[in-house]
Amino acid sequence: MISPRDILAAHILIVDDNQANVALLSQLLNEAGYHNLSATRDPFSVCDMHSTHAYDLILLDLQMPGMDGFAVMHELQQMETGGYTPVLVITAQPGHKLRALASGAKDFIAKPFDVVEVKTRIHNMLEVRLLYKQLEQAVSTLKSIALHDPLTNLPNRRLLMDRLQQARLASVRSQHHCALMFLDIDHFKQLNDTLGHDMGDALLQQVSARLLACAREGDSVARFGGDEFVVLLDGLSLQPGVAATQAEVIAHKMLTALGQPYQLDAQAYNASLSIGVVVFLGEQDAIGDLLKKADLAMYQAKSGGGHTVRFFDPAAQLPTHVSPA
């Protein structure tokens, strides 16, 4: 529910070329308890102001020199494509009501207006606007939950697959190579068995933070499941050999960072990581095959003692399933 305090704190913009009208509306709103008010007599500035401040309500006069309220609403509609345009029109021309509503206004008040009616319409419109924003936030939160791992807040497998597909398509256009890293914490099961799952969760969170610190801007770090992480590097070199070297540098940076001691319940804990890497270009390989190749290379790193990096060997057989040690 929207509280009265939230409504009175809403950000309102008054747009009218007549200073007397601005002063009257400002006084009326202040007396009603609204305290977050802005005003402009310049209709050309409305969209820039709304872009900066995201007003909860715009009280808009229709008849202004140079740019009338209909033109202002048209520009606001362009800004708020698919969204909610919070405009309440106030005009001395009641015949403009239907056109104003068709142009995007959410409500209409004719001058001279009744003070009680104005206050009621503003209150009701703000309540709807804030409920709409509340709904948008709830939808955004649900989308985030659906696409992110709840423990680490990293992208989950579903979001990773989408980003991997986008990286493949972008690579086709740019001809820049990408790299997919499959990472697995060495001996993680032993940690869970000896210190408990709470300590295991704490380690996963710290590993996530260090991986993010090592990644470049634009790279994707995802939790694939359990103690498995995937890092997607895009925008690497046009040359496969140089791209592999770039990926190797980042992988060794991760090994160094993740090899430092962790603090688990005030005690130091040492952990290591095995990393498998496959370099790719465009859509030559299916997404599933890329993941299998990186997984196989990671398994080879584990078999070599862990805490190391292995690149996929094209001569290796692709198993139908690879289980980390």
What average pLDDT is seen over the chain? Answer: 90
Q: What pLDDT was estimated at residue 57?
A: 95
Strands (E), the chain: 12-15, 37-40, 57-61, 87-91, 107-110, 178-185, 220-225, 228-233, 262-264, 267-269, 273-280, 309-311
Place of tokens 């009641």: 94
Give the pLDDT score at 186: 92
In the chain, where the domains are located: 4-147, 157-311
Instruction: Tell me how many degrees the CA angle 281-283-285 measures, rounded to the nearest 5.
Output: 85
Q: Which residues pair with 57 in a beta bridge?
A: 12
The CATH class for the domain spanning 157-311 reads alpha beta
Which residues are registered as beta bridge partners of 207? none
What pLDDT does residue 321 have? 36
pLDDT digits (tens, 9 = 90+) for 303-314: 988 899 999 987
What is the structure's pLDDT at 212? 95
pLDDT at 313: 83
Judged by DSSP in three states, 264 sits in: strand
- As a whole number of angstroms, the distance between CA 11 and CA 124 comes to 15
Q: How far is CA 284 from the centre of its chain?
A: 29
CA distance 103 to 275: 57
How confident is the prediction along the chain (325 residues), in pLDDT tens digits per residue?
789 999 999 999 999 999 999 999 999 999 999 999 999 999 999 999 999 999 999 999 998 999 999 999 999 988 876 667 899 998 888 888 889 988 889 999 888 888 898 899 999 999 988 988 888 888 877 877 888 999 999 999 999 999 999 999 999 999 999 999 999 999 999 998 888 999 999 999 999 999 999 999 999 999 999 999 999 999 999 999 999 999 999 999 999 999 999 999 888 999 999 999 999 999 989 999 999 999 999 999 999 888 999 999 876 655 433 333 3
Predicted pLDDT of residue 316: 60
Contact 62, 53 (CB under 8 A): no
Residue 212 to residue 151: CA distance in whole angstroms: 15
Q: Is 227 a catalytic residue?
A: yes
Q: What would the two tokens of residue 141 be?
A: 């939160």
Give start and end residues of each alpha helix (H) in 149-272.
Answer: 157-174, 188-195, 197-214, 240-258
Cis peptide before 112 (omega within 30 of 0): yes
**pLDDT tens sequence across 107-125:** 998 888 888 988 999 999 9
Question: Measuring CA to CA, how many Å separate 324 from each of 183, 184, 247?
Answer: 10, 8, 22
CATH code of domain 4-147: 3.40.50.2300
CA distance readout (Å), 228 to 73, 120, 182, 294: 50, 56, 7, 12
Q: Which of 227, 234, 285, 313 is catalytic?
A: 227
Q: Residues 231, 234, 239, 245: is their CA dihedral positive or negative?
A: negative
In this structure, are residues 69 and 41 in contact, taking their beta carbons and an 8 Å threshold? no
